[in-house]
A = this chain, B = another copy of it.
Amino acid sequence: MRGFFIGRFQPYHTGHHEVLEEILKEVDELIIGIGSAQESHSIENPFTAGERILMISRALDEINTDKKIYIIPLEDIYRNSLWVSHVRSMVPPFDVVYSNNPLVTRLFGEGGFAVRRTELRNRRVYQGTEIRRRILEEKDWEELVPEVVMKTIIEVGGIQRLKDISGSDV
Residues in chain A within 8 A of chain B (CB atoms): 37-42, 48-51, 53-54, 57, 68, 70-73, 75, 77-82, 84-86, 88-93, 102-103, 105-107, 109-110, 161, 164-167, 169-170
Contacts and interface: CB of A to CB of B under 8 A. Distances in A.
Contacts of A107: 41
A24 to B, nearest CB: 17
Given A37-B90, A50-B90, A72-B72, 14 more contacts: A40-B89, A41-B80, A48-B89, A49-B90, A53-B72, A54-B92, A73-B90, A75-B75, A79-B86, A102-B164, A102-B167, A103-B165, A105-B164, A110-B161
A166 B103 CA distance: 8
B50 A88 contact: yes
A41 B91 contact: no
B72 A41 contact: no
Given A80-B39, A81-B85, A82-B85, A165 B93 contact: no
A73 B73 contact: yes
